[in-house]
Structure 1
Amino acid sequence: MSGNFEDLKRRMDGAINAFKQDLASLRTGRASSNLLDAIQVPAYGSAMPINQVATVSVPEPRMIAVSVWDKTMVGAVDRAIRESNLGFNPIVDGTTLRIPLPELNEQRRKELVKISHTYAENARVAVRHVRRDGMDSLKKAEKDGEISEDDLRKQSDQVQKLTDDTIASIDSLLAEKETEIMQV
């Protein structure tokens, strides 16, 4: 089971990491280079992540700078950012796009909190799926005579504790993000 347990832990950690990335893409009052991670730019015949056609940096707390490497791509990057539904209006300056971040209003903050709750629930569901897989494999091992009923109970408790700890981590990350979003 220990190898299987390690696999379950790795998969649950994966759910937490995916959740952290989702949270990083949410815009709070501060600029972050992660805000543009989800944007795909049509470039050279395919859609590419923005970080493969430009350097994204944060020169000041309320500004994101995007330095496009190929000057023929500036228009495509500008369009991709404007059409991303993030509410950004880049200012084009040669091959650099400056994106000022406006203050968040109360309504937008509440929307962001709702979105972060959705991300958290998705992460919890992923963790529960991993738990179910672990419990199913334990029940199968007991049925096949590979482990005793006592071992099944012990290992099931371990899987449940791992699940509870992981969900507690998700809730803690959510609470931190919520505080950050609501901070004026």
Structure 2
Amino acid sequence: MILIGLTGGIGSGKTTVAKIFKKLGVPVYNSDKEAKKLMNSSKELRNSIKELFGKEAYKKKKLNRSFIAEKVFNNRELLQKLNSIVHPAVREHFKDWTTKQESSYVIQEAAIIFEQNNQDFYDKVILVTAPKAVRIERVLQRDPNQDKAQIERRMANQLSDREKIELSDYVIENIDLKTTEQRVLALHNIFCA
């Protein structure tokens, strides 16, 4: 089974690309969603997160996402500590998930593959890109509670597209949906060959 990493900065449209792959019948593992589930369900993770952030990290037995986000997006070191707790658990969960899939390839959608230096874990990595202004507009549309400054702070915690392109096997510039769908289909045919 081929392991494909799917990554891209906030607002690039990696989830849109993942949905296109899903429509083609490809199993897709969404790391962000699974990490959120694990941070609520894993006692070990909950304890480590409480140890790092204090009891405020959880409200009514659920991860206090706004509290955590406020802490980590202004503190790169704290973000790295959180990632070092969560990412190994997600990696193990993904490995277990892959054993249950029956497909020639699977995709793991993950925002910070290169930032965590995890690209060698995958057989191939697809990078989804879009111009910065488009990315900001997309994030504002899906989450009106965020402002431009918050989005730009999150972008600053990720490598630039220029840096990621150098490390990627394939790049999908996600501006026009029809073109993106054609590019996904072309890659699907390569991975199934």
TM-score, normalized by length of structure 2? 0.25
Task: Output the TM-score relative to the length of structure 1.
Answer: 0.26
Bigger radius of gyration, 1 or 2? 1
Q: Greater RCO between the two (CA within 8 Å, min separation 6)?
A: 2
